Amino acid sequence: MTFVTPIKTGPRRRWWSELLPFLAIVAVCASAMSIPFALSIETWLTHLSIRKDWAIKGPPCPQMGSVPIFARGARPPKPFTYKGTRFAAQVGDISCAAVPDEGWFPKSTHAVCQFSGPSAIEVDTGTVQATYVTGMGKRATVTIRNGRPSCVIGGWFDE
């Protein structure tokens, strides 16, 4: 009687055991490369949100050569400068933002300022001077694009 001894070939390897380290390295590299992509998407969505929030629609503000007597306060307003533009509002609070210009990832911004109840707003961009009379208690939004101011009655900024 002959006995056949089985040939030992060692432990059987599975195909995925050799592939697993490679897949782990690919997963780590892919997740590391996704961080800049996710930050880019987040920045773009933030720009879109800011543009949408600060794109105020409304009727244009009446413009005059100077602040009329009925719109003047007891004291002249203290002017302030934002992004190179000088503003002075007779009454109320002010909120300004640097709103990204159009495009996917713009490097430039333009100034938008909301006034809670200004009565009158004086704007001086250095090249253009404008005085807007909005009326007491009405919100107004002034946008400065390419050194040119525009004003609409309306906004979401409250005192």
Q: What's the confidence (pLDDT) of residue 16?
A: 65
Residue 159 pLDDT > 60: no
Residue 146 pLDDT > 80: yes
Buried b (16+ CB within 10 A) or exposed e, 104-130: eeeeeebbbbbbbbbbbbbbbbeeeeb
Confidence label for 45 from pLDDT (cuts 50, 70 and 90): confident
Q: What is the pLDDT of residues 79-119, one digit of tens each?
A: 889 999 999 887 788 899 999 888 777 788 899 999 988 88
Instruction: Tell me what the pLDDT averaged over the chain comes to.
Output: 83
Domain ranges of the chain: 54-153
Q: What's the confidence (pLDDT) of residue 12?
A: 64
Q: What's the confidence (pLDDT) of residue 112?
A: 94
Q: pTM above the 0.85 mark?
A: no
- Please report, as a single letter, which amino acid is at residue 122: E
CB 157 within 8 A of CB 93: yes
Strand order in the sheet with 119-124: 63-64, 129-135, 119-124, 85-89, 80-82
Comparing CA positions, the residue from 85, 89, 64 lying closest to residue 145 is 85
User: Read out DSSP for 18-82?
Assistant: HHHHHHHHHHHHHHHHHHHHHHHHHHHHHHHHHHHHT----PBPPEESS--GGG--SSPPPPEEE
Structure tokens at 57: 């629609």
Q: What is the pLDDT of residues 112-137, one digit of tens each?
A: 999 988 888 889 998 988 889 887 78
Confidence label for 66 from pLDDT (cuts 50, 70 and 90): confident
